[in-house]
Amino acid sequence: MMTTVTSAATDHVEAGAVRPVLSIRDASLGYGDRLLWAGLDLDVAPGQFVAILGPNGSGKTSLLRAVLGTQPLTGGRIEILGEPVRRGHRLVGYVPQQHLADRGTPLRARDFLALGIDGDRFGPPLPSRGRRARVDAMLATVHAEAFADARIGSLSGGEQQRLRIGQALIGDSRLLLCDEPLISLDLNQQRSVSDLIDASRREPGRAVLMITHDVNPVLDMVDTVVYLANGKALVGSVDDVFTSEVLSDLYDTPVEVVRVRDRIVVVGLPDHAHEGHEHAPHGDGSRH
C-alpha cells in the first residue's frame, strides 16, 4: 500500500497548474504471485528531482522500466505528458545502470552522443551540419569538449557517465530517468555527475527520476523521495520520509534516523534491507 507522507509533490503540480511530466496513478507491480509494491501515486512537475530509494529487490528498476513502457504494471496507469506510457517515447531519456565501455571500444565520445539523435526515429533525419551543431552543444553541456574525439573506452567512469547523460538528453527529453548513475564513481565524479543531472532538470519543462541507494550525495537537490520497501511505497519530501517514525512504520521494525553533519544515517534496518542500502547500514554513514 502506498502512503503519501506529504502532498508536496502534488501541491507543486496543482498550485502551478502545470501539466505533470509524469503521472502515476494507483500503480502496482509484481512478477507472478510476488507483488513488489502497490498503490503508488505520483505527479512529477517540470523542474522536479525525484529520488527512488529502497533496499535491493524492492522494485526500483522495475518502476523505471514501467515508466519506460518496457514493463507492464500489474495495476494502475502511468502517463507521460498526459499520454499513456509507451516504449521508446521520444521525450524520455534513460541512463541505465552503468557498465563501463571496454577499453578497446573504438567509438569516439562525439559519436556516442550522436547515437542519442539516431534514437529519435520519428523526426526527419537531421542534416549533418545540424547534427554536428547539436552534438557540439551537448558536448559543452556535459563538459566533455576536452575529450570529444577520445575513444570512450579510454575515459574514466565519471567521464563516461557524463556522456551517457548527454546521450539521454540530446533528443530533447523532458523526463530523464537514471538508474544508480553515481555508482562506482569517486566523490569528485559523483559531484560532477549529480551537478549535471541537477542542472538538466532546470532546463525548461524537464524533470528527473533517479534511483540511488544513498540519498546523501543528492540531499540538497532532491525535492521528492519515492521509498520502496516491504511491499509498500512512500512518497514525500526528504524531511517527511526520513524520520524514525515513518521508516519504522515502513519496515515494520524500529529504525532510527539521525542527522550527522548534514548526512542522513539510518540505524537498525532489517537484515534483508542492508545489502547495498547505504543510508548507513552500519550506523556510521562512512561508506559514502
Ligand X SMILES: Nc1ncnc2c1ncn2[C@@H]1O[C@H](COP(=O)(O)OP(=O)(O)OP(=O)(O)O)[C@@H](O)[C@H]1O
Instruction: Find where cell 512518497 sits.
Output: 235
Cβ 12 to ligand X, closest distance in Å?
26
Cβ 67 to ligand X, closest distance in Å?
12
Cβ 139 to ligand X, closest distance in Å?
30
Distance, CA of 85 to chain centre: 17
- Asked if 279 is part of the footprint of ligand X (rule: CB under 6 A), the reply reads no
Judge contact between 85 and 79, C-beta under 8 A.
yes
Cβ 127 to ligand X, closest distance in Å?
40
d(CA 141, CA 196): 8
232-236 and 224-229: which strand pairing?
antiparallel
Exactly one of 57, 96, 171, 268 binds ligand X (CB under 6 A); which one? Answer: 57
Of 58-66, 136-144, 188-196, 250-258, the window that binds ligand X (rule: CB under 6 A) is: 58-66
d(CA 175, CA 82): 13
d(CA 257, CA 88): 39
Segment 12-31, which members bind ligand X (CB under 6 A)?
31
- Please provide the distance, in angstroms rounded to a whole number, between the alpha carbons at the two ends of the chain: 30
Exactly one of 47, 54, 181, 236 binds ligand X (CB under 6 A); which one? Answer: 54
Cβ 282 to ligand X, closest distance in Å?
18
Bridge partners for 78 per DSSP: 24
Q: What is the DSSP letter of 76?
A: E
Cβ 16 to ligand X, closest distance in Å?
31
Closest CA to 13 of 47, 60, 55, 40: 47
Nearer to ligand X, 85 or 170 (CB): 85
- Asked if 146 is part of the footprint of ligand X (rule: CB under 6 A), the reply reads no
Cβ 21 to ligand X, closest distance in Å?
22
d(CA 146, CA 275): 38
Exactly one of 46, 47, 59, 116 binds ligand X (CB under 6 A); which one? Answer: 59
Nearer to ligand X, 22 or 114 (CB): 22
Segment 217-276, which members bind ligand X (CB under 6 A)?
276
- Asked if 62 is part of the footprint of ligand X (rule: CB under 6 A), the reply reads yes
Of 4-12, 57-65, 81-89, 137-145, the window that binds ligand X (rule: CB under 6 A) is: 57-65
d(CA 47, CA 208): 8
Exactly one of 12, 60, 89, 164 binds ligand X (CB under 6 A); which one? Answer: 60
CA distances from 117 to 7, 18, 51, 112, 188 (A): 37, 28, 27, 10, 29
d(CA 70, CA 98): 19
Exactly one of 6, 61, 192, 244 binds ligand X (CB under 6 A); which one? Answer: 61
Of 10-18, 40-48, 60-68, 201-209, the window that binds ligand X (rule: CB under 6 A) is: 60-68
Residues 44, 45, 46, 49, Cα dihedral to 10°: -50
Count of residues in contact with ligand X, rule CB under 6 A: 11
Contact residues toward ligand X (CB under 6 A) are 31, 36, 54, 56-62, 276
